[in-house]
Structure 1
Amino acid sequence: MNPTDQILFTRGLLDTSLVGFILFLGLMNDRLHHYIRELRLLRKTMEAVKKQSRSLDDAKNGSSEELASLKAMIKTLESECAAKTDELKVAESKSEALEKQSEGLLLEYDRLLEDNQSLRSQLQEIRHFYGKKNM
């Protein structure tokens, strides 16, 4: 081989190596692009999962807050119910006392009516007696 052939051979070898290296870089670029795309999809998926977990946590916190407020409301309603029950018992006892008082008054009224009838009859007898005497 003469020096010109060696130079041409070396140049062909360098061109072939350069083409191979460019193909290798293209393949690497394609794979890198593919991995970047997968990474973006994974990040979007992870963000969606995080949003869902946040919304679930918010819902749980909201539910627990709602549950706490409902429990507090139940306690206040129970205390109001107890107070109303006490008021009802007091009102019932007053009503029973008034009924007993009314019964006593009715008995007293009946006794007074009998006394009145008795006194009227006595008065009528006295008038009748004095009326006969004056005639």
Structure 2
Amino acid sequence: MNSYHENIVRYYRATEKSYKDGWGLKKNLMIHYGYWDDKVSSFSESLLRMNEVMAEAVGITSSDRVLDAGCGVGGSSIYLAKTRGCRAVGITLSDRQVAQAETFAKDRGVSEQTEFKIMDYCHTDFPDASFDVVW
């Protein structure tokens, strides 16, 4: 792992508690700022709304295989597996995020539809055309 990647991993380790407390990470499973429109009245709703808007725009179906590039703790992969019935593979540089994502997926009943790996999304080892959607 190069120093750039190490800095990313260090950042997420250093901010883990802040995301857990401020973002409600165990409940919301998201590490972003959400999508705000007239259907949203809270930060928590904005996090979910981001997934709703993106999944609808792309038209993800149960037959799709999705690469969640930069998956964090797996929130989008879990959401897509639960709501769209697709298979999702999440990749992140953080071993702790992979462990959390696997636990969250199991707790939410989608561990058979999801997989999480430590990998750089700029340099994956997936064969060409492995995914229908890159998230």
Superposed pair shares fold, TM > 0.5: no
Pick the structure with greater CA Rg.
1
Greater relative contact order (Cα < 8 A, sep 6+): 2
Q: So what's the TM-score if we normalise by structure 1?
A: 0.16
